[in-house]
Amino acid sequence: MMIRGYEEIDENSWLRCRVLSFLDTSYYDKVLKQKPRYEKGSIELVAANGEEIVGLIDIELDALPGDICSDPERRGGLIRHLAVHPDHRRQGIGSLLLIEALGRARTAGMQYLEAWIRDDQWVRDWCAGSGFRLVDSYLQVYVDGEEDLKGLVESKIPQLHPVSVFAHYTGSDKAYILSKFTRVHEMSRFDLDLTDWDDN
């Protein structure tokens, strides 16, 4: 197994690794058919076992503070994708990908990494154990079925009937939202400060 830069030839294996890695998480239905491309700076690494991709990390880099990441004062790298194939987890691959990526991010002038994690406790634990700290959170809400949508969302186009809605809730009454809807995810921002990172 080696950590190296992503190459075009990796795309199919990258997509398979990603979809399998998210099956047992709250992102289980967020499927990609193409590997995302980034117009600005990025770090795209894979853990390769021969031709098979068993881990991946994509980080999109701020050209200026606040370009991509949330902090308007510091340049950061936003972790767009981080995943390890379920058959290869807990072998240190996620940590190796992160360490290689954060070294490159520091070299590129980034001051922190930003990750947005849903409510998978073991992933949050991995983040906390890797030095990230919780900064902020909001709720992501799925509403399915015309009955649940009544009085909530209306279409202005005749004969167009919404049957499904995905919404962000940034208010303070999280308990109400959690009690009202069946599928609600807490989306949390975790930051990793790179300025005091010890490369040794």
Rounded Cα gap, residues 108 and 18, in angstroms: 26
Structure tokens at 172: 């303070």
- Which single residue is written with the structure tokens 């400060």? 193
Q: How far is the CB of 81 from ligand COA (least distance, A)?
A: 6
- The least distance separating ligand COA from the CB of residue 128, rounded to whole angstroms, comes to 9
Chain residue whose CB lies nearest ligand COA: 94
* Options 37, 90, 156, 168; binder of ligand COA; rule CB under 6 A: 90
Minimum CB–partner distance for residue 49 and ligand COA (Å): 13
User: Which residue lies nearer to ligand COA by CB, 37 or 156?
Assistant: 37
Scan residues 120-149 and list those touching ligand COA (CB under 6 A). 120, 122-123, 125-126, 129
**Contact between 117 and ligand COA (CB under 6 A)?**
yes
DSSP annotation of 88 reads: G
Instruction: Select from 84, 101, 105, 139 the one that contacts ligand COA (CB under 6 A).
Output: 84
| In the complex, least distance from residue 180 CB atom to ligand COA, rounded to whole angstroms | 26
Should residue 93 be labelled a site residue for ligand COA when binding is judged by CB under 6 A? yes
- The encoded tokens of residue 187 equal 């989306």
Q: How many angstroms separate the CA atoms of 53 and 84, rounded? A: 9
CA neighbours closer than 13 Å in the CB half-sphere of residue 105: 32
Vertex 140, ends 69 and 54: CA angle to 5°? 65
176 is a contact residue toward ligand COA (CB under 6 A): no
Contact (Cβ atoms closer than 8 angstroms) between residue 185 and residue 139: yes
Residue pair 52/93 in contact by the 8 Å Cβ criterion: no
Contacts with ligand COA by CB under 6 A lie at 21-22, 25, 79, 82-84, 89-95, 115, 117, 120, 122-123, 125-126, 129
